[in-house]
Chains A and B, each alone.
Chain A
Amino acid sequence: MVNNLSYRQQKTILIILFLLVPLTLLGLFSLYPAVYLIYLSFMSWDGFSPDKTWAGIANYKDVFANKEIWNAFSHNFVYLGWGLLQNAMGLMFALILNSRLRGRNVYRVVLFMPYIMNGVAVAYMFNYVFNSEYGSLNTLLHAVGLDSLAISWFGSPKVVNHALGFITLWKFMGLNMVIYLAALQSVPSEIIEAARMDGATRFQSVRHVILPNMMRVIELNLFLTIIGTLEIFDLPFLLTKGGPLGASDTFLTKTVEMAFKFNNFGVASAMSLTLIAFVIVILSVQRWVTRRWGD
C-alpha cells in the first residue's frame, strides 16, 4: 500500500505521525489547562459543585477593586529589591571568583550549595535561624550585646518581608553567580588584554568591556529573578502563612487562599491571569531598560 503513495505523501504521513504524540501531550497537559484557566476566570465556581455560572468580567473587577490583593502584591516588590541585590552580589562574586584566587573552586561550591538544597528544608532551617526566642541569629545578637537588634523577625510587619527576601537572596545568589561565571569565561580574553594594554584600569575594563559583552546573560538573570520574585510563594507559605496579620502575603499566597480557602476559583483564575499580565508588563520594561543601557 505504501508503494502507491508518492514520496511526498509518505513524508507528510510520517511527519503527522511523529508530531501526533508530542502535540497531543502538549495540548493535553499545557494548552488545555491554560485555556481552561481563561475560561474559569469568566465563571463563578466554588471548586467542587457541578455547575459553573457565567460571571463575565465581574471576577476581574473584584481583583482590581480588592485593596488587600494589591497590598499583598506590593510585598512582592520587596522581594524584587532583594532580587536585584542578589544579582549584583552574584555578579560581584563571579568577578572575584573568576580571577586567580586560591581555593576558588571551594568558594564556588560553598556559594552554590544553597541552591541545591530543597526549598522546604531551607524554610525550616531559617525558621530556626529567625526564631525570636530560640533562634540562632538572636542568640548571636544577644551574645555580642546587640539586644536591641534581636527583634521578632517574622513577627514585625515591617521586617518580615525583608527577612524572607534575605532568604531568597541566600538561596538563589549561587545560581546567578554560576550563570555569570559561565558568561565571564566566554568573554574573549583578547579584548580584555587589548583594553589592558591601552591602559584601562580593572574597573574600566569591567565597566566598558566585560559587562557589555555579558548583556544577554544579565538580561537572562534579571528575567529569572523578576519571574521568581513576582511569583514567590513557598517561603511565605511555609514560614509565616502570610502573617503577621497579612504583612507577608504575596500575590500567589492570596491566589491560593482565594481558591482553596474561600472556594472562589473564578476570582482565583482571574488573579492568575492578572499576574501573568503583570509579569509580561514588567519584563517588557526590564527588556527595554537593559536594551537601552546595552546600546
Chain B
Amino acid sequence: MKKNVTISLALTLGVGLLAGCGNSNNDSNVSPSASATTEPGASSTESAAASELSGTIIWATHRTELVDTDLKRYVEKFEAKYPGTTVKIEGLKDYEQTIRVRMAGNELPDVLSLVETTKADLPKFYEPLDDLGLNDNIYFKDYNTYEGKLYGITQQAAINGLVYNKKAFETAGIAEPPKTLDELFADAEKLKAAGIVPMATSFKDGWTLQYWTDPAEFIYGSTNLRNDKIKTDTPFTVDGPYGQGLGILKQLYEKGDLEKDIYSANWDQTQKDIASGKTAMMYIGNWFFSNLVSAGLPLEDIGFAPLPYDNSGTYKGMMRNDWAYAVSSTSKNKPLAKAFVKFMLEESGDEADHMFISPLKDKKQDFPQLTQFMSYNPTMLEAQSISVEVTAAENKMQFDPFKFIQEATVGKLQDVFNGYNKKWKAAKEAASK
C-alpha cells in the first residue's frame, strides 16, 4: 500500500514537472505572434496607435488590499477604453521577495512596481519609459534614471509632515500646530497634562521611524546627507546633522512624550489611538490620512503641518517617492504595458480616491490638509536615491536604518554613533576594494 502511494506520488510529481515544461513551451510559442501584432509600424492599414493595442498583460502590484476593489475598477476602465485588451492583476503579499525570485528566474510580469537593484542593473530588468512623454512632468525623475534613460515612475509622491488629531489638540487647549521646536515640546507638556500621548512612533515596528531622519536632512540642507557619508569616515556625530536631527526624537523620548511603552507600540494600535484621540501627533507621510479615515477619524479632524526642526520659525518639508511603475524588459507586449502605466498615472483617478499626491506635476492636488501644509511656505526637498557605493557599504556593514534610529533614540548617542562610525569606516574600505 505504502509503496503504491510513493510510486503514484513520484509519478504525479514527474508528470507535474513535464507539464511545467509544456507550459513554458506554450508561452514561447505564443510570444512571436503576440509581438508581431503589436510591432509598431508593422500594420500600415491601421493609423491610430490606440487601435493597435491588443492582447494580455500581467500587472503585479504590492497593493494587495485594493486588488479586488479599486485596482480592479481601474483595470476595467482601461479595458473599456482599449477594447480587446486584458490586464490581469496579480497582488503579491510578500511583494519584494517574490519579485526578486522572479528576477533571478527572468520571469518578471509585464507591469510591476519597480524593485530596486543597483542602477547599472536597471536596463537588464526594466524597459525605458522615456517614450511615454511624461519626462518633464514627473517628480522624482532622477530616482530611477540611469544613463539618461528613465526606468520607473513613482506611483505617488508623499509629503512628510506632522499629522495631528485636531480634536486632541482642542482638548489640550492648543489652538494651532507648533511653529518652533520649543513650542513642540511645550505643546507636548499640555497634551500630557490632558492625559493624551503627544507623539506616536510605532517604535516596535521600526519602519515608521524612518521619517525621523528628515530633520537631519533639513539641518544638513539637502537630501544628499545619506550619500555624502561616502566622503567621511565619521558620518555620525552628536553635534552634526544626524545628532541634531535624531536629537529631536531623542528629546521627545527622554521627556516622556512618546508612547508609554515604546517597545510594544505597534502600527495597528497607533492608527487606532490617533483616530480615537488617545494620541495626538505623528510625523509621517500624507498617505496616512486614508488610514486614519478608515480607522474612524473624520477627514476634517486631521491637521497637517511641517515639523519645526529648530526655533527659527522657517519650515522645510520633505517629499518622498513611493514604489515606481515599471515595465519589464522581457515583456512580450510592451506597447500595451506602457499604455497601461500612462493610463494609471493620468486617467485612473487613483490619487483622488486614495488622497495621495500624483507624481504628475501638472495634476491639481487639492485637499484641505495639503493647502494647510503649503500655507506655512515650507522649502520642499526631494528625496534622492541612494548611490551604488553607499548601498554597497551599507549592506556590507549590515546597516539597518530603522534599528539605527531606535538605538539612537534610547541609547547613549555618543556610544551608538561611535559604534556605527567604526563599522562604517571598515565597510567603506572593504566595499571600495
Contacts and interface: CB of A to CB of B under 8 A. Distances in A.
Contacts of A241: 204-206
Nearest to A155: B263
Contacts of B14: 21
A224 B206 CA distance: 34
B406 A243 contact: yes
B100 interface: yes
B104 interface: yes
B206 A133 contact: no
A262 B401 CA distance: 12
A139 to B, nearest CB: 14
Contacts of B11: 21
A154 B400 contact: no
A258 interface: yes
B395 A264 contact: yes
A9 interface: no
A131 B264 contact: yes
Contacts of A155: 204, 261-264
A133 B279 CA distance: 15
Interface string A260-278: 1111100000000000000
Contacts of B204: 154-155, 240-241, 243-244
B310 to A, nearest CB: 28
Contacts of A50: 124
A49 B121 contact: yes
Given A25-B10, A25-B13, A48-B100, A156 B117 contact: no
Contacts of A46: 118
Contacts of A219: none
A98 B124 CA distance: 66
Interface string B391-404: 00001001010010
B395 A262 contact: yes
A63 to B, nearest CB: 12
Contacts of B406: 243-245
Contact of B403 (A47, A245, A258, A262): A245
Q: Say which size band chain B's interface belongs to.
A: 20 to 34
B207 to A, nearest CB: 10
B370 interface: no
A154 B410 CA distance: 16
Contacts of A257: 398, 400
A258 B398 CA distance: 8
Contacts, number: 69
B13 A243 contact: no
B104 A47 contact: yes
Nearest to A254: B398
B6 A68 contact: no
Given A132-B264, A264-B395, A48 B104 contact: yes
B261 A132 contact: yes
Interface in B89-129: 97, 100, 103-104, 117-118, 121, 124
Nearest to B398: A262
A21 B10 contact: yes
Nearest to A29: B13
A22 interface: yes
A241 B203 CA distance: 12
B255 interface: no
Nearest to B410: A245
A4 B262 CA distance: 81
Contacts of A27: none
B264 A154 contact: yes
Contacts of A131: 264
A244 B406 CA distance: 9
B100 A47 contact: yes
B426 to A, nearest CB: 10
B354 interface: no
A50 B117 CA distance: 12
A30 to B, nearest CB: 13
Contacts of B124: 49-50
A119 B100 CA distance: 27
B260 interface: yes
A156 B97 CA distance: 31
A240 B203 CA distance: 11
Interface of B: 6-7, 10-11, 13-14, 97, 100, 103-104, 117-118, 121, 124, 204-206, 260-264, 395, 398, 400, 403, 406-407, 410-411
Given A49-B117, A264-B395, 14 more contacts: A21-B10, A21-B14, A22-B10, A48-B117, A49-B121, A132-B264, A152-B264, A154-B263, A155-B263, A241-B205, A243-B406, A244-B406, A258-B398, A263-B395
Interface of A: 21-22, 25, 46-50, 66, 68, 131-133, 152, 154-156, 240-241, 243-246, 257-258, 260-264
- Interchain residue pairs A-B with the least CB separation, the first 6: A155-B263, A48-B103, A21-B10, A262-B395, A132-B261, A152-B261
20 contacts: A21-B10, A48-B104, A49-B117, A49-B118, A49-B121, A132-B261, A133-B264, A152-B261, A154-B204, A155-B262, A241-B205, A243-B204, A243-B206, A245-B406, A245-B407, A245-B410, A245-B411, A260-B97, A260-B100, A261-B400
